[in-house]
Structure 1
Amino acid sequence: MEKIRHNHIEWLREITHDDSINRISQQAGIPYATLYKRFKSGELATDEIIAIARSYGINPVDAMVKTGLISNEEASGVRGDNALRLCNIESIAKEIVRRDAEKTQLTGNDKNKNAQSATTKAA
């Protein structure tokens, strides 16, 4: 899996509504000098992202996804066949019926296009 890098400082500015480094430092409990260095480097440490997110009422897991530290799939903890284990049988059956109807509709559209094409060629 390729790691997607996001600009941590853009994320920080967005969630803090452009608060000053001093204000963010006070709110998150991160020393001003540390935060200043992070602004210069453009990248925050994971524990700093978590502290800032919490201090601004943001879910830390969402913050880690937004900053590219983890993927959506990793955040949800559910992938592919594992998701099926969480679904009840009725939900699985409904999904099968929905997919079958979608497939039938797509195949029907292809048949109609082929019939129209044949009619146009015959004329």
Structure 2
Amino acid sequence: MNHTTWYERITGNATERAVSLASGITTSTLNRQLAKGVLSPENVIAISRAYGVSPIQGLVSTEYLKPEEVSDMSEEQMADSLSDRILIQTLAKRLGEDPEELMNEAEESLTSNVRRLPQPIEQSESEPEPERYVAKRKKPEPGEGDDDYGAGA
């Protein structure tokens, strides 16, 4: 992710001065790095901590760390491990949508074609129970090509 995009998402477009005060980074350093579009790893950590975000998540988002370096799982495995609700909420936030509305739409689309099966018809007492069959345990008859095969008796 672009460092500037990450910065704006985390800080909520707070002023550089406010971010500097919250994170302990000098305003001039922050301004210079934002102008270049690249924040140092140390400043990503400081901003993450100041805004209650995991520093590891900040380093992954700004591509200083790869997701597989943080966990022994690949990105796909991590995404697969998320519940549908968390995945949709995260996607909604990224797209700037209302997470609950998007979740409701997803649930409706998943259940729109679901039909209830009719209840099984109960067997009346007057109807006999179907016969039960059991497999024979007798040695199978020899077939054509078997040593014991013959024309018959």
Q: Say yes or no: TM over 0.5.
A: yes
CA RMSD, 1 decimal: 1.3
Instruction: Please list every run of 5 or more consecutive structure 1 residues that lacks an aligned counterpart in the other structure.
Output: 1-5, 81-123
Alignment of 1:19-98 (within 5 A): 19-76=14-71, 78=72
CA distance in 2 between counterparts of 1:26 and 1:69 reads: 24
Distance 1:79 1:10, change over 3 A: closer
Instruction: Please list every run of 5 or more consecutive structure 2 residues that lacks an aligned counterpart in the other structure.
Output: 75-153
Secondary structure in 2 aligned to 1:69?
coil
CA distance in 1 between counterparts of 2:73 and 2:37 reads: 32
- Higher helix proportion: 1
- Alignment pair present for 1:8 and 2:7: no
The percentage of aligned residue pairs carrying the same residue is 32
Letter in 1 for 2:67: N
Report 1 or 2 for greater relative contact order, CA contacts < 8 Å, sequence distance ≥ 6. Answer: 1
TM-score, with length taken from structure 1: 0.58
Larger gyration radius, structure 1 or structure 2? 2
> Stretches of 4+ moved more than 4 A in 1?
none
Q: How many residues align?
A: 74
Letter in 2 for 1:74: E
Letter in 2 for 1:60: P
TM-score, with length taken from structure 2: 0.47
Q: CA deviation at 1:79?
A: 5.4
